[in-house]
Amino acid sequence: MFGIFGHPEAANMTYLGLHALQHRGQESCGIVSTEGERLYSHRAMGRVQAAFDSATLGTLRGDRAIGHVRYSTAGGSHLKNAQPIGVDWARGSLAVAHNGNLTNFESLRERLEARGSIFQTASDTESVVHLIALSESTDQEARIADALRQVEGAYSILFLDERRLIAARDPLGLRPLCLGVLQHEGRTVHVVASEPNAFDLIGARLVRDVAPGELIVIDESGLRSSFPFAPAVRKMCLFEYVYFARPDSILEGASVYEVRKALGRRLADEAPLPPGDGDTVVVPVPDSGVPAAIGLADRARLPFEMGLIRSHYVGRTFIEPQQSIRHFGVRLKLNPNRAVIEGKRVIIVDDSIVRGTTSRKIVKMVRDAGAREVHVRISSPPTRWPCYYGIDTPTRAELIASTHDVSEIARYLTADSLGYLSLEGLVDAVRTVEARARATTSAAASDPSAADAPAPDTYCHACFSGNYPVPFSPASGPRHLRMLP
């Protein structure tokens, strides 16, 4: 998500911000803007660059806007589910953009439909709109807070009406949300985004993360903040650090790139290479495996090589030749660099293994290119549980680590060895980088306690541990969640 208030080219700025956030969703995109009188909207399937041209952006008038790139975890891949969702109602117009998943959506929808609400989409985000419409509060800010108190799960969420931009983050802080500013003609322009790398592209400066449970209102009078929700222990998603966020982002004060290198160094200590002879090279699975591979190679004192070359021109669809080509799908994205892996012991470093099918194809592809041995190292713990907070993971039955131990997975991959990072190692590495970042800030310099590392239980690691921070109950949880073993 991206939002901006107070810039005459708000739609263009939002377009650029969404372009920087394209890695978070490539299914559909949209922008809603306003000049203070009405809302203007454009949504489309596909990527940002294809969905918007100068003529389309010219129709999105005003100095304030919000935008969204979608990666569906609730509701199908249809234009009707694209965001921001915009509605007209008795009190004006409202647009909503949401990152995360509401775990009590089904029960909310049943209750709302029983009261007469008619849903136009299959998205869980729409339930928030209906809750706002039913609120008896007279102020928009209070109606939004009232609605969000009734939802459960993960939400970093933006609202735009004719007069203000409102941003909120759930009390657990499961999904990231950042606040920034830029100066335009002597005026302070406020911006919000899922990741701060979106600020870099438009020349904005990161101010801070939106705090868990915080609600921010931005209007002509400036910015004001409140905490209208019951306090809770922070549960920032660890998978953001492992894979989802872009490596040049800063989350909770920590560089994602530095975190991933730290994971690689810790992985080298926890899963050393078995004894053997011959030249050894560390090869990342690009792009997400690159920083961890750098860290592992550095700690193990082994050469880092780009033994897999990624194509950056792969679209969403392609025509597969009728003649069978071995590993066609993987080869479309990756190709082995035979010059650096032939005859070598190759350590393949990746961020995670989900079903295992892609990793198996990569291992076989590297062997076919002449590798003498292939060892796989993963910079996160085994993914054993599905995520219900905004990461689209398969069902538990489809996660290979839920039914196989490490040795069995290694045999399936046809790898000579397989090593994962422990959950303790992951948490400790993230905490260490976060603490180091706090220690270097001016606030930490004047207040030593500001440099303290977050407590070990302040992260969500449900996909690794099965410990879900939002409890699911038959009374409130979606039906598909009640079936968890």
Phi and psi torsions of 202, nearest 5°? -105, 5
Flag whether 161 is marked binding: no
What is the distance between the alpha carbons of residues 182 and 197, in angstroms, rounded to a whole number? 14
Phi and psi torsions of 248, nearest 5°? -90, 10
Give the chain's count of helices (H) and strands (E): 19, 23
For residue 242, what is the DSSP state?
Answer: I
Cα-based angle 197, 224, 209 (whole degrees, multiple of 5): 30
In our burial notation (b when 16+ CB lie closer than 10 A, e otherwise), range 155-180 reads bbbbbbbbebbbbbbbbbbbbbbbbb
Q: How much of the chain is helix, strand and coil, in % rounded to 5?
A: 35, 25, 40
Flag whether 288 is marked binding: yes
Q: Mapping DSSP to helix (H, G, I), strand (E, B) and coil, where does residue 133 land?
A: helix
Flag whether 29 is marked binding: no
What is the distance between the alpha carbons of residues 178 and 452, in angstroms, rounded to a whole number? 21
Q: Element (H or E) spanning 284, and its range?
A: strand 280-284
Pairing, β 2-5 against β 64-70 = antiparallel
What is the distance between the alpha carbons of residues 415 and 313, in angstroms, rounded to a whole number? 29
For helices 125-134 and 105-114, give the axis angle rounded to 10 degrees.
40
Q: How many CB atoms lie within 10 A of CB 420?
A: 24
Residue 390 gets the label, from left (phi > 0), alpha (psi -120 to 50) or beta, of left
Flag whether 387 is marked binding: yes
What is the distance between the alpha carbons of residues 418 and 274, in angstroms, rounded to a whole number? 10
Q: Mapping DSSP to helix (H, G, I), strand (E, B) and coil, where does residue 330 land?
A: helix
Flag whether 460 is marked binding: yes
Residue partners of 367: CB distance under 8 A and separation at least 6: 374, 414
Output the DSSP codes for 44-92: EES-HHHH--HHHHHTS-SSEEEEEEE--SSS-SSGGG-SSEEEEETTE
Flag whether 237 is marked binding: yes
Q: Mapping DSSP to helix (H, G, I), strand (E, B) and coil, where does residue 275 land?
A: coil
Residue partners of 334: CB distance under 8 A and separation at least 6: 285, 286, 308, 309, 310, 311, 362, 365
- Token pair recorded at residue 395: 């069902």
Give the residue ranges of the annotated binding site for [4Fe-4S] cluster: 237, 387, 460, 463
Give the residue ranges of the annotated binding site: 237, 288, 350-351, 387, 460, 463
Give the residue ranges of the annotated binding site for Mg(2+): 288, 350-351
